[in-house]
Amino acid sequence: MPYSFPQGFVWGTATAAHQVEGNNVASDFWMLEHAPGTLFREPSGDAVDHFHRYPQDIAMIRQLGFGAYRFSVEWARIEPVEGYFSIAALDHYRRMIASCHEHGVKPCVTFHHFTSPLWFTLDGGWEDRANVDRFLRFCERTVRHLGDLIDTAYTINEANLSATLQVAGVFPPGGLKSVAGFVGEAAKRYGSTPERIGPFLLGDPMKLRDTMLEAHVRARDVIKSGPGSFPVGVTLAMQDFQALPGGEAHVARARAESWDPFLEAAREDDFVGVQTYSRSRFDANGPMGPEPGVPVLIMGYEFWPEALEGTVRYAAKTANVPIHVTENGIGTTDDAQRIDYERRALAALVKCMRDGIDVRGYFYWSLMDNFEWLFGYGPEFGLVAVDRTTQRRRPKPSADWLGAIARSNTFPD
Ligand code: GCO
C-alpha cells in the first residue's frame, strides 16, 4: 500500500555555510585546511559559491519540488573579530531567508554547523565551557536580526559528533588533535597552544560534548526569547549502533555517552533532529568493522539505508518529542545507488511512522555536491552536481526522483 505522509510533512534539503559558500576566511577550518601538514584532503576554496548564488539555488530547491531549506548562518562572517558584529553579514542572511519566503521555501536555520571564528577556537574554542557565553552572545545578536523570518532553528549541528565517533572507535580518545600534529603546530603559529586550541570535530570529544550540551540548552532559551516564534532543537549524529551477541553492553555505553545526554535535554525542546547515514556494529570486543559482503562507501562506512529506522525509534522513545530527520543521504558517484539508498531509507522511515512515531519532516543531505570536510570534494552527496570551474548546477536523476515524492507527499508501494 502506498503511504501518504501527514499533511504538512516537510520535505527539504540541507547545506552548511562552510561547505557551500566559499572563502570563509575568518573561520577556524579555513586556517586548519591551509595549515602545513593538514589532514584536510584539499581546502574549501570557492566551494560552490553559494554565498553569491543563493538566489538561483533557492529557486532551484522549489523547482525540484522541496518546500524547505536547512542551511547555516556563519558565525565567522557575522563576528569575524570578537565583539564586532557585521551588519552586512547579518543582512546577507536576512536576504537569504527572504529569498526562501519569496519562493515558498521554509527557512530552517542552523546557528552552528562545525565552523567557528578563528579567534574563538584559538582561545579554548569548544573545549572550554567558559566560552559558552561567547556563543550565546552571537546567538542573541543573530536572532535579533533574523528571528522574525525564521521557520525552524537548530542550535548546534551534530553537537555529539566527536563523542559518537570516539565511542564508535573511529576517533582516538582525546580526539583527532591528539594524533594529528598539524592542529597543535597551527595553534602555535597563531599564538595559541596545542592544549588551548579547541576546534569542533578535531578537539577532545568529551570536552566538546559537555560544552556543546550546555551551549545547546542555553542557546535554545536565548533564541526563543528573541523575535519570532518557531520551534528550536538540536541535531544529532546517530549512526545506528547495533549489537551482535555479547555487544549489548558496548552499545548501551555508546548510547549513554554520545546520545542520551542530548536526547534527555531534548525533552525540553520542541523536537530533535536525527541525522543518520549508516550503522556501527559492536560485539563483545567493542566496535567492529564493516560486515563482509556489505558495500563500503567512500566515507568508509557501510551502505546501510535501514539504519534510519533504529535511530528514529530510539530518539523518539528517549526524547519523547517530535522527530525531524534533519539529514540523511549518501556520498556516491553512482546516482542510481543514491536512489536505491533513498528508497530504502524512506521505507524504513515509513515503518516508524506507520507505528505512530511523530516524524515531522525529512531533509536530504545535501542539495549540491560540496566540501565534505576532511574528505574535501571527493564524496558527492548532492542531488545536484556542480562544475566548480563554471559553477554550473546540474540536477541528477535522484533530484527528480525525490522531488516527485516530496510533491506527492506519498511513498509509493
Ligand atoms: C555531518 C554534517 C554534514 C556532512 C554530512 C555528510 O553529518 O557531518 O552535518 O556537514 O557533510 O553529514 O557526511
12: phi then psi, degrees, rounded to nearest 5: -145, 180
C-alpha cell, 270: 520542541
365 lines ligand 1 (CB under 6 A): yes
Q: Tell me how far the alpha carbon of residue 137 lies from the centroid of ligand 1, in angstroms.
A: 26
Q: What is the dihedral of CA 190, 212, 363, 366, to 10 degrees?
A: 20
278 lines ligand 1 (CB under 6 A): no
CATH of domain 9-407: 3.20.20.80
C-alpha cell, 102: 519569496
Q: Tell me how far the alpha carbon of residue 16 lies from the centroid of ligand 1, in angstroms.
A: 9
369 lines ligand 1 (CB under 6 A): no
| Mean pLDDT across 333-362 | 98
C-alpha cell, 377: 570534494
- Give residue-wise pLDDT tens across range 212-227: 999 999 999 999 999 9
Closest residue by Cα to atom 4, ligand 1, is: 372
Q: Tell me how far the alpha carbon of residue 108 lies from the centroid of ligand 1, in angstroms.
A: 16
- Give residue-wise pLDDT tens across range 173-188: 999 999 999 999 999 9
Q: Answer whether residue 196 shows pLDDT above 90.
A: yes
Q: What single string gives the DSSP state of each residue in 327-370?
A: EE----S-HHHHHHHHHHHHHHHHHHHHTT--EEEEEEE-SB--
DSSP letter at 105 equals -
DSSP 3-state helix, strand, coil percentages of the chain (rounded to 5)? 45, 20, 35
Q: Answer whether residue 413 shows pLDDT above 90.
A: no
Q: Tell me how far the alpha carbon of residue 185 lies from the centroid of ligand 1, in angstroms.
A: 26
237 lines ligand 1 (CB under 6 A): yes
- Give residue-wise pLDDT tens across range 10-39: 999 999 999 999 999 999 999 999 999 999
158 lines ligand 1 (CB under 6 A): yes
29 lines ligand 1 (CB under 6 A): no
Q: Tell me how far the alpha carbon of residue 300 lies from the centroid of ligand 1, in angstroms.
A: 14
| Distance, CA of 16 to CA of 325 (rounded, Å) | 16
What was the pLDDT predicted at 344? Answer: 98
Between strands 279-283 and 359-365, the pairing is unpaired
Q: Answer whether residue 120 shows pLDDT above 90.
A: yes
- Give residue-wise pLDDT tens across range 281-330: 999 999 999 999 999 999 999 999 999 999 999 999 999 999 999 999 99
User: Nearest CA to 345 among 273, 259, 395, 276?
Assistant: 276
Q: Answer whether residue 168 shows pLDDT above 90.
A: yes
Ranges of each domain in the chain = 9-407
Cα four-point dihedral sign 377, 380, 386, 390: positive
